[in-house]
Amino acid sequence: MLRGGGYFVWAAQPVYKHEEALEEQWEEMLNLTTRLCWNFLKKDGYIAVWQKPSNNSCYLNREEGTKPPLCDPRDDPDNVWYVNLKACISRLPKNGYGTNVTEWPARLQTPPDRLQSIKFDAFTSRAELFKAESKYWNEIIGQYVDTLRWKEMRMRNVMDMRAGFGGFAAALISRKFDCWVMNVVPVSSTNTLPVIYDRGLMGVMHDWCEAFDTYPRTYDFLHAANLLSAERKRCNVSSIMLEMDRILRPGGRVYIRDSIAIMDEIQDIAKAMGWQVTLRDTAEGPHASYRVLVCDKHLLHA
């Protein structure tokens, strides 16, 4: 998970205590990190800091038989869904992808190198697709702010349920919203997580036909753009919406931006769950093929 040149900080008793058993653990840690090619930088008080290398030279120059070994070159380190752990070291990309990231906050709007490694069919420049998505969501958030009074909303924990390149979260940050966004990449979509992380955002991959691994009533706001119409081919829409209800706090809000063809079904499910719903036109007007369903979850009383 750690990118090339990234840092590992260890705060543990073997760092600062000098009992015999703990000193043995410290020596074991030094031995392991040396074999991992991590560079020991500093030990200060309660913490110790290492840095991961930025290229493969140390890995390739280790003595033959050193454990852990390098992973098989055929292994895909970006394959992260239902993959067993392996006791091996993933090689860093030779082109530096994932290591050479722009400094924050410029990296939020800069197309990262790893954009070129995303596996999808693109008939136009990937950088242009990246910029177009960022521009699109910045305009959409602007419309939400102007017409739906988003600046008055109290939202801290936000989830984008179909995040793409993370343009929705980037637009919120650019407009100074004080919130934290979990960017979810559905397993049924292209794996864009490397781009999301290289932008300096947080994200996770998930199958929306399964339960989301989080505590109930976690999120203040859920945003689902073109998600339900895509996932209805794989599983029951009502199951996904019930999972949304589980992770949404009472008083929370959901925005479902999707096709007209599915809106009647979504509205019926939302009302059955006790959500208060309002169907709104998009900025394209009443003749557009998309609508926005605004849903509010209230406390239900017996």
| Residues 10 and 136 grouped into a single domain | no
- Segment 264-275 shows an average pLDDT of 96
Radius of gyration of the chain (CA): 23
Q: Is residue 100 part of a domain?
A: no
Instruction: Name the pLDDT band for 273 (thresholds 50, 70, 90).
Output: very high
| pLDDT in the model for residue 17 | 92
What is the rounded average pLDDT of the residues 82-105?
A: 90
Q: Which domain holds residue 231?
A: 106-297
Report d(CA 290, CA 270) in Å as an integer.
Answer: 18
Q: Could you read off the pLDDT of 106-122 as tens digits, one per residue?
A: 999 999 999 988 887 76
Q: What is the pLDDT of residue 301?
A: 62
Q: Does 45 share its domain with 129?
A: no
**Which residues have a Cβ under 8 Å from the Cβ of 35 and sit 6 or more positions away?**
62, 66, 67, 68
Q: What is the pLDDT of residue 123?
A: 56
pLDDT for residue 34? 97
* pTM for this model (two decimals): 0.92
**Are residues 150 and 209 both part of a single domain?**
yes
21 plus 137 within the same structural domain: no
Integer CA distances (angstroms), 181 to 26, 59, 110, 161, 235, in order:
37, 35, 19, 10, 25
- Whether the per-residue pLDDT at 104 is higher than 90: the answer is yes
- Reduced to 3 states (helix: H, G, I; strand: E, B; else coil), residue 182 is strand
pLDDT tens digits, 160-183 = 999 999 999 999 999 999 999 999
Q: Are residues 142 and 289 in the same domain?
A: yes
pLDDT number for residue 96: 82
Helix, strand or coil for residue 77?
A: coil
Among candidate residues 208, 280, 260, 276, the one with its CA nearest the CA of residue 238: 208
User: Which 3 state secondary structure label does DSSP give 158?
Assistant: strand
Confidence of residue 152 (pLDDT cuts 50, 70, 90): confident
Q: Is residue 208 part of a domain?
A: yes
Does residue 98 form part of some domain? no
User: Does 54 map to a domain?
Assistant: yes
Query: What's the pLDDT at 79?
Result: 87
User: Do 222 and 272 belong to one domain?
Assistant: yes
Residue 186 maps to a domain = yes
Regarding whether 264 and 116 lie in a shared domain, the answer is: yes
**Domain closes at, from 60, 92, 124:** 92
C-beta of residue 59 within 8 angstroms of C-beta of residue 38: no
User: What is the H or E stretch that residue 139 is in?
Assistant: helix 126-148
Average pLDDT value for residue range 263-269: 96
- Confidence band for 188, pLDDT divided at 50, 70 and 90: very high
If you average pLDDT over every residue of the chain, what do you get? 93
Extract the runs of DSSP E, i.e. beta strands, from 54-179. Answer: 157-160
Whole-angstrom CA distances from 129 to 47, 187, 205, 225 are: 42, 20, 21, 17
Q: What is the pLDDT of residues 195-251, one digit of tens each?
A: 999 999 999 999 999 999 999 999 999 999 999 999 999 999 999 999 999 999 999
Say whether both 155 and 271 belong to one domain: yes
Q: Are 220 and 155 in contact (CB under 8 A)?
A: yes
**What local confidence, expressed as pLDDT, does residue 103 receive?**
92
CB atoms within 10 A of CB 58: 15
| Number of domains forming the structure of the chain | 2
Same domain, 49 and 198: no
Task: Tell me how far apart the alpha carbons of residues 162 and 223 are, in angstroms, rounded to a whole number.
Answer: 8
**Helical residues (DSSP H) of 11-88, grouped into ranges:** 13-16, 20-35, 57-60
CB atoms within 10 A of CB 150: 19
CATH value at residue 210: 3.40.50.150
Whether pLDDT at 302 is above 60:
no
Chain segment 57-82, per-residue pLDDT in tens? 999 999 999 999 999 988 988 888 99
Counting other chains too, the contacts that 45-50 makes at CB distance below 8 Å and 24 or more residues apart are: 45/16, 46/11, 46/15, 46/16, 47/9, 47/10, 47/11, 47/15, 48/9, 48/10, 48/15, 49/7, 49/8, 49/9, 49/10, 50/7, 50/8, 50/10
